[in-house]
C-alpha cells in the first residue's frame, strides 16, 4: 500500500483519521508554507492519495511523479481550479472537493466585506490608528446605507450565493442574481429576482458579489467593459477566485471614480496583491480567509479525509468532482 500525502498539517482532524487510513500518512512539515514544487514532486512519489490545498498546483507532472498507483486527489476546498481535471481523468485518478461545509463561513465573510467597503470600516480603522486628532463630523466617513433600498447583484447563485442572499435579505436589500439557482423556488423565497444577463445585473446593482468557479470561461469575467457597465459609485466584492477579475481594470475603474470601491478576499495573482489597489482607501483586501472559520476548516479537512478513506477502500467518494 502506498502512502497518503497531505500537503499541510491540518490540526486535530488528522489524528481522528490516521487509524482509519489504509496506508501511512505523510505530512508536509509546516502549516505556514506549502511544499515547494520540488518537495511536492518528491513527496507524492508512490502515493495512493494526495490531500491538497488551493496553494498546490496538481497537474500532469505531479500526477506522473506520484505514479500509476495514485487513486485520488482530495482537495481541501470547494474550488478545484488548482487541479488539472483532464489530466486526472486521463490517468483514472479521482478528484474530490469539499462543497457545502464552507457555505456559511464564506457567506459571513462576504457580508463582512460588503459592510466593510460600503460603510468604510477598514478606512475608518486605518484613520484611527494614525493617531490624528478628530471629532465627530456630520460628513465624516459617510457611506452607502445598504438597508435603504440598495440592490445586491449575486453573480453565480449556487450554494454560497444562496447563503449570501439569506443574510442580505435580513438587511432588506433587493437581490438580483445570475447562475444555476437564480430561477429556483427557494431563491424566490429569499427575495431573489433572476437577472436575464450579466450586463443587466451589473447595470442594476449597487453591490456586485462574485460567487462563480474559476474556469477558462470565467477568467476575467469582470474586465474593463463589465466594470464600465456597473452603476456609477457601485462596489465589487470578490470572495470566489481572484482571476475572475482583471485587477488592473478594477484599479482603473476605482481610480477614475466610476466605482465606489471593492472588497477582495482573493487576488488575481495570489499570493501577490495588486500594488495599485493596495494604495486605495476604498478597497478592502483580505488574505483569502473566506473559509477560515474554526469549525469550517475542521469540517473541510474531515470531508477530505472521508473522501480519501472511501476512495482507498474502493467506495464512491462522498463529494467527487465531475
Asked whether the bond before 11 is cis by omega within 30 degrees of 0, the reply is: no
Cβ atoms within 10 A of the Cβ of 133, count? 5
Binding string, residues 72-101; x marks residues near ligand DGY by CB under 6 A: -----xxx----------------------
Backbone φ and ψ for 217, nearest 5 degrees, come out as -75, -30
Site string for ligand DGY, 19-58 (x = CB under 6 A): -----------------------------------x----
Distance CA 80, CA 60 (A): 15
- For ligand DGY, the closer CB: 59 or 252: 59
Cell of 177: 442574481
Active-site residue 270, yes or no?
A: yes
Cβ distance to ligand DGY smaller for residue 233 or 322: 322
Q: CB-wise, 78 or 177, nearer to ligand DGY?
A: 78
241 part of the active site: yes
Long-range contacts of 195-204 (CB under 8 A, 24+ apart): 195/153, 198/155, 198/226, 199/226, 199/229, 200/176, 201/153, 201/155, 201/176, 201/177, 202/153, 202/226, 202/229, 202/230, 202/231, 203/229, 203/230, 203/231, 204/151, 204/153, 204/176, 204/231
Select 77 or 253, whichever has its Cβ closest to ligand DGY: 77
> Under the criterion CB under 6 A, does residue 296 sit at the interface with ligand DGY?
no
CA-to-CA dists, residue 288 to 7, 19, 230, 270, 275, angstroms: 18, 32, 24, 9, 17
Catalytic pick among 211, 241, 267, 297: 241
**Binders of ligand DGY among 160-189, rule CB under 6 A?**
none
Report in angstroms how near the CB of residue 53 gets to ligand DGY at its nearest: 8
- Active-site annotation holder among 91, 119, 220, 288: 288
- Least separation in angstroms between residue 286's CB and ligand DGY is 11
**Shortest CB 76 distance to ligand DGY, Å:** 8
H-helix segments, the chain: 13-18, 37-43, 60-66, 85-90, 103-118, 121-129, 159-170, 185-189, 198-204, 224-229, 247-255, 275-278, 294-312
Contact positions with ligand DGY (CB under 6 A) in 275-294: 290-291
First-to-last CA distance in the chain?
26
* Stretch (H or E) spanning 268: none
**What secondary structure letter does DSSP report for 10?**
-
Nearer to ligand DGY, 103 or 247 (CB): 103
Task: Name the catalytic one among 39, 200, 248, 270.
Answer: 270
Read off the C-alpha cell for 71: 487513486
Residues 93-152 that bind ligand DGY (CB under 6 A): 102
Q: How many residues line the site for ligand DGY (CB under 6 A)? A: 7
Q: How far is the CB of 236 from ligand DGY (least distance, A)?
A: 18
28/241 with CB nearer ligand DGY: 241
The site for ligand DGY (CB under 6 A) is made up of 54, 77-79, 102, 290-291
Catalytic center residues: 241, 270, 288
Amino acid at each position: 500500500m502506498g502512502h497518503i500525502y497531505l500537503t499541510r498539517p491540518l490540526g486535530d482532524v488528522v489524528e481522528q483519521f490516521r487509524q482509519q487510513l489504509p496506508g501511512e500518512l505523510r505530512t508536509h512539515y509546516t502549516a505556514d508554507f506549502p511544499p515547494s514544487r520540488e518537495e511536492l514532486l518528491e513527496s507524492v512519489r508512490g502515493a495512493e492519495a494526495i490531500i491538497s490545498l488551493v496553494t498546490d498546483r496538481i497537474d500532469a507532472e505531479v500526477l506522473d511523479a506520484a505514479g500509476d498507483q495514485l487513486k485520488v486527489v482530495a482537495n481541501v476546498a470547494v474550488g478545484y481550479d488548482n487541479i488539472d481535471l483532464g489530466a486526472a481523468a486521463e490517468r483514472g485518478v479521482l478528484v474530490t472537493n469539499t462543497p457545502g461545509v464552507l457555505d456559511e463561513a464564506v457567506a459571513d465573510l462576504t457580508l463582512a466585506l460588503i459592510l466593510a467597503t460600503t460603510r468604510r470600516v477598514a478606512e475608518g480603522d486605518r484613520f484611527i490608528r494614525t493617531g490624528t486628532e478628530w471629532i465627530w463630523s456630520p460628513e465624516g466617513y459617510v457611506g452607502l446605507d445598504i438597508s435603504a433600498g440598495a440592490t445586491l447583484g449575486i453573480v453565480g447563485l449556487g450554494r454560497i450565493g444562496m447563503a449570501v442572499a439569506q443574510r442580505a435579505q435580513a438587511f432588506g436589500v433587493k437581490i438580483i442574481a445570475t447562475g444555476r439557482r437564480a430561477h429556483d423556488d427557494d431563491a424566490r423565497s429569499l427575495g431573489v429576482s433572476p437577472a436575464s444577463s450579466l450586463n443587466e445585473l451589473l447595470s442594476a446593482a449597487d453591490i456586485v458579489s462574485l460567487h462563480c468557479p474559476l474556469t477558462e470561461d470565467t477568467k476575467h469575467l469582470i474586465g474593463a467593459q463589465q466594470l464600465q457597465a456597473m452603476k456609477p459609485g457601485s462596489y465589487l466584492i470578490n470572495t470566489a477566485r481572484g482571476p475572475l477579475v482583471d485587477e488592473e481594470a478594477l484599479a482603473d475603474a476605482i481610480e477614475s471614480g466610476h466605482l465606489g470601491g471593492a472588497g477582495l478576499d482573493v487576488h488575481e495573482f495570489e499570493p501577490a496583491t495588486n500594488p495599485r489597489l493596495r494604495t486605495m482607501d476604498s478597497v478592502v483586501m483580505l488574505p483569502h480567509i473566506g473559509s477560515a472559520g474554526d469549525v469550517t476548516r475542521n469540517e473541510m479537512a474531515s470531508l477530505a479525509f472521508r473522501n480519501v478513506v472511501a476512495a482507498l477502500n474502493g467506495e464512491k467518494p462522498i463529494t467527487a468532482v465531475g
